[in-house]
Chains A and B, each alone.
Chain A
Amino acid sequence: MSKNIFAYIAHKNGVAQDSALELVAAAKKINPDAQVTAIVVGAGADLDALCNDMAASYNDVWKLDNEDFAYPNAESIRKALVNLLPKGDILLIAHDTFGMDLGPGLSIKLDAAFVPDAVGFDGINGDTLKVVRQEYSGMVSAHVDCDLSTGAVLNVRPGAFQPDESKSAGGKVTDKSGDIGDIDVKRRFLEVVEAEVGDVDITKADVLVSVGRGIEDEDNLEIITELAEAMGAVVSCSRPIVDAKWLEKSRQVGTSGQTVKPKVYLALGISGSFQHMGGIKGTPFMIAVNKNPKAPIFQVADVGIVTDMLDFIPELTEKIEAL
């Protein structure tokens, strides 16, 4: 396969996200001999340092410096990439909130195939790339054949590949800012509203009692707060609990919530989607209670209990209180 591979570098204020080096590994998995080009989009002085950083890991680095890119607006970046990218090649993008905004539309404009949320690559046969994905919140995996003949945009799940730290590419930086072209768009960035700080800071807790959809009803939350109280722990939760407005957003663990690093994490009625697990850092001792033995949480937990938490938790609380 002679296709070039490009990787979009997600960064915040000139500091690359972890995905930047994960995409090096992903590209090598597709083709160990591929020439891989990093695309670094942004504005201002921080950009050169970031480009130089990336040159250690990528054969080529394209710098796209424009004041309109001071905040990454997927709409204008899509136009620039359509203007710049050769047709028929492969572009890797992290499947984060920016990548979900950029990738699907970009694939249409490039007339390329699109695979969302790839977690692995399993070989190439001619122009067909075998991609590994997950469906049903990780309860089953699937192989997907992707036709690369007119190019492909592949969104890669953050954390799915081990970052390539070899930094042995010795690449060069090319300033492509003059070739960005028309990037006038109909969606204008206004501001980022920071998450509200709640009454409890779950990011500082050593022991978290975390509750998910398995709690079934708001009234049942009482058994969770009682357990947490008995343990001297803090209550956190997964997304559905916040969507239902049963707990405040500041208690949500996950990529769209808080990133926590406790010593002990009790996951109660939480299935363990990658978005939830993405909010747990470090190596907490993880205990999962779920009535579904196939829940993905049991793949990552240290200890699992397959039972209905609504019966189990009050018993546990009682025994802990009696200690």
Chain B
Amino acid sequence: MEIFVCVKRVPDSSENEIELNSSGTDIERDDLVYSVNEWDNYAVEEAIQIRDNVGGSVTVAAVGDEESEEVLRREMAMGVDKGVLLSDDMFEGADGKGIANILKAEIEKGSYNLILTGAQAEAGGAQVGGMLAAMLDVPYASLVNSIEVIDDSKLKVGREVEGGNQEMSEIEMPCVLSIQTGINEPRYVGIRGIRKVASMEIPVHGAGDLGLDASVAGEAGAKVKRTDYFVPDLGEGAEILEGSSDEIIAKLIELLKAKGGLK
């Protein structure tokens, strides 16, 4: 099976406090720790496991600047066969549809049975996979937390739905699936693993290679544009307990007693 996985380099929000820059046009990016989008890591692991079971190859692709190469290499070290960076100044300011257009152009250069994305990334959009499927005119399932290969043309997939329930469907390939965290346990990649793939070539495909112009894959074509970041007026919020930890604990125990939190 030929599998294509879309990954993204994102600020690691478990490693960083996300704050606004002084003008509110962006988050403060100095000193941010970046990593692969958490959901994408599960998608790559799933692709590798499927390939190891049924044969074929796994390709990872990222839309981004040259810094995304590091993320691609990390994912390749997990056992991916090929990586490709989709990079062009023109892609700056593309909206979700623009990103999907870029990925579609790369996917159409190959012949893939299965295309995986993470269920969402740092902006919480959860949109690129569904758009990509519609553009490619293939079936789609989001929030997938189990995949079973039935035969060369069909998968049985589980979607994580409300209440911890799992919605099971049969889906024909080629198809696009967005992968939910928890579907597997992504393998650990050490420095040694990354060193092993250091010499693997990662081709860079720009707008010209992909036959794209700014009206479909750049700011000019974006119908959805972020104009600013802000911190909303949140009202009072929590009463923050302060003082020495003994004082805080004494106050907390008092509150727990009053509210029925201690038995």
B238 contact from A256, A259, A298, Cβ within 8 A? A298
A304 CB contacts on chain B under 8 angstroms: 237-241
Which of B84-92, B108-116, B205-213, B248-256 lies on the face that meets chain A? B248-256
Cα distance, A98 to B250, chains bound together (Å): 46
Query: In residues 95-152 of chain A, which contact B (Cβ within 8 Å)?
Result: 95-98, 100-109, 113-117, 130, 132-137, 139-147, 150
- Neighbouring B residues of A108 by C-beta, 8 Å: 97, 100, 130-131, 134-135
- Is there an interface contact between A305 and B139, defined as CB atoms closer than 8 Å? no
| CB nearest to A306 among chain B residues | B240
**B160 & A134 in contact (Cβ 8 Å cutoff):** no
A236–B180 alpha-carbon span in the complex (Å): 21
Assess whether B134 is in contact with A105, with CB atoms less than 8 Å apart: yes
| A104 close to B129 (CB less than 8 A) | yes
**A103–B240 touching, CB < 8 Å:** no
Q: Are A97 and B181 in contact (CB under 8 A)?
A: no
CB-based contact A104/B259 at 8 Å: no
Partner of B126, one of A78, A116, A243: A116
Check A97 against B263 for contact (C-beta < 8 Å).
no
Instruction: Tell which of B13, B182, B230 touches A141, judged by Cβ atoms closer than 8 Å.
Output: B230
Of the stretches A26-34, A36-44, A46-54, A247-255, the one at the interface is A247-255
Cβ of B96 within 8 Å of any chain A Cβ, yes or no, is yes
B145 to chain A, nearest CB (A): 9
The closest CB in chain A to the CB of B170 belongs to A188
Residue of B nearest to A73 (CB): B169
- Count B-side interface residues using an 8 Å CB cutoff: 80
Q: Answer yes or no: A194 CB below 8 A from chain B CBs.
A: yes
Q: A147-B224, A190-B169, A299-B238 are in contact. Are A100 and B261 (CB under 8 A)?
A: no
CB nearest neighbor in B for A294: B17
Complex Cα gap A263–B263 (Å): 13
- B245 vs chain A, min Cβ distance (A): 6
| Contact A101–B140 (Cβ < 8 Å) | yes
Given contacts A101-B142, A287-B252, contact A109 B229 (CB under 8 A): no
**A212-254 interface (Cβ within 8 A of B):** 213, 231-233, 239-240, 242-243, 245, 249-250, 252
Cross-chain contact of B162 among A97, A213, A239 (Cβ < 8 A): A97
Contact A105 B226 (CB under 8 A): no
Q: Is B226 touching A144 in the complex (CB atoms < 8 A)?
A: yes
Of the listed stretches B47-55, B66-74, B117-125, chain A binds B117-125
The interface on chain A, measured as residues whose beta carbon lies within 8 A of the other chain's beta carbons, has a size of: 98
B10: min CB distance to chain A, Å: 9
One of B14, B162, B185, B248 near A256 (C-beta < 8 A): B162
Q: Taking the nearest CB of chain B, how far is it from the CB of A313, in angstroms?
A: 10
In the complex, are the beta carbons of A104 and B128 less than 8 A apart? yes
Instruction: Name the residue on A nearest B222 (C-beta).
Output: A147
Contact of A141 with B232 at beta-carbon distance under 8 Å, contacts A136-B18, A195-B165, A292-B17 already known:
yes
Instruction: Offer 7 A-B interface pairs, CB within 8 angstroms, sorted by A.
Output: A100-B126, A141-B230, A145-B225, A191-B168, A207-B261, A299-B234, A323-B253
Kindly list 12 other residue pairs between chains A and B, CB separation below 8 angstroms, not including A113-B223, A187-B171. Answer: A104-B128, A104-B130, A105-B133, A142-B227, A150-B223, A186-B172, A190-B169, A243-B182, A266-B261, A304-B241, A305-B241, A320-B253
Q: Chain B residues in contact with chain A, CB under 8 A?
A: 11, 13-14, 17-20, 27, 96-97, 100, 119, 122-131, 133-135, 138-143, 156, 158-172, 175, 181-182, 185, 223-232, 234, 237-241, 245, 248-250, 252-253, 255-256, 259-263
A: which residues have CB within 8 A of B? 73-75, 78, 95-98, 100-109, 113-117, 130, 132-137, 139-147, 150, 185-195, 206-207, 213, 231-233, 239-240, 242-243, 245, 249-250, 252, 255-259, 263-264, 266, 285-288, 292-294, 297-307, 311-312, 315-316, 319-320, 323
